[in-house]
A and B are shown apart, each in its own frame.
Chain A
Amino acid sequence: MLPKGSSAALLALHYPTSIFCPRNSPFLKLRPVFGPRASLSTGGGRTGALTPPPPPPPSSSSSDEVQKIDVNPPKGTRDFPPEDMRLRNWLFGHFRDVSRTFGFEEVDFPVLESEALFIRKAGEEIRDQLYCFEDRGNRRVALRPELTPSLARLVIQKGKSVSLPLKWFAVGQCWRYERMTRGRRREHYQWNMDIIGVPGVVAEAELISSIVTFFKKVGITSSDVGFKVSSRKVLQELLRSYSVPENSFGRVCVIIDKIEKIPVDVIKKDLMTAGMSDLAVEELLQVLAIKSLDKLEEVLGGKGDAITDLKQLFFLAEKFGYSDWIEFDASIVRGLAYYTGIVFEGFDREGKLRAICGGGRYDKLLSTFGGEDLPACGFGFGDAVIVELLKEKGRLPELNHQVVSMVCALDSDLQGAAAAVATKLREKGESVELILGVKPLKWVFKRAARINAERLILVGPDEWQKGTVSVKNLSSEEQYEVKLEELE
């Protein structure tokens, strides 16, 4: 909504002059290494003809006419005005602190990737909702829906130059294209932590430990949330015993992930289309209903890694100190095709919210991109559900804008003097709001209250002549004169 009386927007363009240096592109030179499915039009450095630039707006007789522009961000996206930005920085600050506490290193990748990186043809929802398009060079690109493929790409790119294991984390924006009738977001930020090069379950245990650490940090307890844990190997073993082909595996998992969301008859039908006999489907559904590890062991028999892995995980969870946070649940498969082992999901115990986070092992992802497989596991943790959860539990922090000092000139000749005072304090690292121009004192006090300044420093002619300023402590209301040299 535009403010009353305004004649709609047009805006100053801050034209960046020479910021782009004509040096090498930091992007990976894309070789066609993404496997048989790749329909890469990127090739290696080929440049197609550019699509023409967008046309100028229609010219009008009155050249002062200004275009009406929507003041809202694009559908499904968010602006972050100061109050929202404070919350976001608070949240991301915790993500980063926890990651560093665990000795992980931060990485990042472009938000725009080749579409081929995300095409897995396993029927995943993530693929249906891919925010892809053709760029001006007619290449198929996409705004990333997740961070893991980019991470895998970077790991392969680094090759032998990095020493394993790698412990990397990232906080990045991910996108999906969804019809706006559903009123859902098209972007969110996701915190990821990944461990590359550790085949043992201790890696998954470490990852869950980091999420538990984060929850504790923000005041969420094990009575608020928990983790449901299972292993893709359970399904693998089952499907193998029914001779379901390995390349249907991902698809089967994606179908099963929808168990609570679509009618069981549709699930059964889809599973049979994926190559399972109705007997196999029945047994599968029974197994998925198992709630105890012991029962699972009975059903599957003693052999196979699934049980060993899970038992080991629960053993380590106790040592890490988070036993009361995790439970076994055979129906957890997660919706990404590439998980191969342990999978887990954070859930709210009151059952009101969607999954808070999810992750698992993905030992075979790198080879789908043409690299050598490395054991890998990781998780994604979005910024939306956690905020809803904190709201529910009354644990959203109150964050206000804050400065230490507000500096104000009492007449226009002293603007320079006020600037000098502000500079002196800023050089010491203090946060200082300098009043720009001369404002009535009533206005100044109001603003000081709004920005929660600790003190107000007034630069007045009489004091300045003496080489002093007036300092008012805004909580105690005490005011005293201070020599400029002694100001700190």
Chain B
Amino acid sequence: MRLRNWLFDHFRDVSRTFGFEEVDFPVLESEALFIRKAGEEIRDKLYCFEDRGNRRVALRPELTASLARLVIQKGKSVSLPLKWFAVGQCWRYERMTRGWRREHYQWNMDIIGVPGVAVLQELLRSYSVPENSFGRVCVIIDKIEKIPVDAIKKGLMSAGISDFAVEELLQALSIKSLDKLEEVLGGEGDAITDLKQLSSLAEKFGYSGWIEFDASIVRVLPMTLALCSRSELCCLNA
């Protein structure tokens, strides 16, 4: 517990240093909050059950969904941007034969109301991947180092990408330099601008030595953005 407190105190101190406010939500949520068409793996491992009133509930597998729910609940009563952080326990259901943990604590920091464009979205768009397949495609791409490449290709093709586009997409995802990506995507488009901007900011923030570009990192996924009254309400997950 001493170690946990030490760790969590650092999470909190850093969050406060950045001017973020702490929030929390129930560890138990309606199952519906976590069930989406694209998130198959999350569903398989969702620690869900029927409560004594026959409602489908689940121990949360992540914090972001609850955060989004609270943001929407607050509606116009909060002024953007919001900078919120949380440290909370998350759960998953896994067969115990694998000896894996079923719970862990997660530190989250979220900024709501600062617009940005997901790089991967643009990449997929440039390969004519239909927008409504994005989520599914991201889930597949995330497995790139974990399952054989043939399975990846098969998955991508069944998501509606031509085999030619699949090859090109996989090549693009292996790009490790921003300049090379610029060649592939072409000079226009926000992705390159954003990434260059991020790179320059990283330098000003003083952490250039900590980050590197890697096109295969799929961090924001499966992404179905909150469709609220105006487009300013989009989520940027750090």
Please give the residue numbers on chain A whose beta carbons come within 8 Å of chain B beta carbons, in ascending order. Answer: 1-17, 19-26, 45, 47, 50, 53-54, 56-57, 59, 63-64, 66-67, 69-74, 77-82, 85-86, 88-89, 105-108, 110-112, 131-137, 143, 173, 175, 177, 179-180, 187, 401, 403, 406, 415-417, 419-420, 422-423, 426, 429-434, 436-437, 447, 450-451
Contact = CB atoms under 8 A, between A and B. Distances in A.
Give the interface centre of B4, B21, B142 by most chain A CB atoms within 10 Å.
B21
B18 interface: yes
Contacts of B205: 419-420, 422-423
Contact of A82 (B22, B36, B63): B22
B93 A59 contact: no
B111 A81 contact: no
Contacts of A63: 37, 132
Given A1-B75, A15-B42, A135-B47, A50 B227 contact: no
Contacts of A78: 26
B29 interface: yes
B149 interface: no
Name, among A67, A78, A450, the residue most crowded by chain B CB atoms within 10 Å (CB to CB). Answer: A67
B193 to A, nearest CB: 12
Contact of B68 (A9, A423, A433): A9
Contacts of B18: 426, 431-434
Which 4 residue pairs spanning A and B have beta carbons closest together?
A: A433-B19, A416-B204, A3-B75, A11-B68
Interface in B15-56: 16-19, 21-37, 39-40, 42-53, 55-56
Given A6-B228, A72-B73, A13 B42 contact: yes
A143 B59 CA distance: 10
Contacts of B75: 1-3
A10 B28 contact: no
Interface stretch (B94-102, B150-158, B166-174, B181-189): B94-102
A133 B224 contact: no
A421 to B, nearest CB: 9
B81 A50 contact: no
Nearest to A178: B52
Most buried by A among B28, B32, B68, B104: B28
Most buried by B among A11, A111, A143: A11
B72 A73 contact: no
A100 to B, nearest CB: 11
A17 to B, nearest CB: 7
B70 to A, nearest CB: 5
Interface in B179-238: 200-201, 203-206, 220-229, 235, 237
B84 A80 contact: no
A80 B21 contact: no
Contact of A56 (B2, B5, B25, B37): B37
Contacts of A19: 104, 106
A15 B135 CA distance: 11
Nearest to B111: A436
Chain A interface mostly = loop
A170 to B, nearest CB: 9
Given A66-B227, A108-B1, A20 B46 contact: no
B229 A6 contact: yes
Nearest to A430: B17
Contacts of A17: 142
B141 to A, nearest CB: 11
A226 to B, nearest CB: 32
Contacts of B101: 20-21, 23, 25-26
Contact of B237 (A7, A14, A112, A143): A14
Contacts of B7: none
A143 B28 contact: yes
A132 B52 CA distance: 8
21 contacts: A2-B72, A3-B72, A5-B229, A9-B68, A9-B226, A10-B36, A12-B220, A12-B223, A12-B235, A13-B36, A53-B45, A59-B37, A74-B30, A82-B22, A85-B23, A85-B24, A105-B2, A187-B26, A416-B201, A416-B203, A423-B205
Given A13-B64, A21-B101, A401 B69 contact: no
B96 A45 contact: yes
Contact of A419 (B36, B59, B204): B204
Contacts of B178: none
B24 A80 contact: yes
B30 A66 contact: no
A416 B43 CA distance: 41
B48 A434 contact: no
Nearest to A420: B204
